[in-house]
C-alpha cells in the first residue's frame, strides 16, 4: 500500500515537472521570438536613419 502511494506521488512529481517544462518552453519560445522581433526593428531603424 505504501509503495503504491509512493509511486503515485512520484508520478505526480513527474507530471508537474513535465507541465512546468512545457510552460517554460512556451515562455522561452515567446521571449526569444519577441527579442528577435525587437532586434529586427532596431536594425531596420538603424538602416533607415
pLDDT at 1 over 90: no
For residues 47 and 41, give the distance between their C-alpha atoms in angstroms, rounded to a whole number.
10
Give the pLDDT confidence of 24-47 residue by residue, as tens digits: 999 999 999 999 999 999 998 887
Residue 47, pLDDT score: 79
Beta strands (DSSP E) in the chain are: none
For residues 1 and 6, give the distance between their C-alpha atoms in angstroms, rounded to a whole number.
9
Q: What is the pTM of this model?
A: 0.55
Give the count of beta carbons closer than 10 Å to the beta carbon of residue 43. Answer: 10
Please report which confidence band the pLDDT of residue 5 belongs to, taking 50, 70 and 90 as the band edges: confident
Residue 49, pLDDT score: 66
The rounded mean pLDDT for the chain is 91
Amino acid at each position: 500500500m505504501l509503495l503504491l502511494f509512493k509511486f503515485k506521488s512520484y508520478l505526480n512529481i513527474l507530471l508537474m515537472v513535465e507541465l512546468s517544462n512545457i510552460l517554460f518552453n512556451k515562455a522561452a519560445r515567446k521571449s526569444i521570438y519577441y527579442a528577435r522581433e525587437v532586434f529586427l526593428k532596431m536594425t531596420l531603424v538603424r538602416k533607415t536613419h
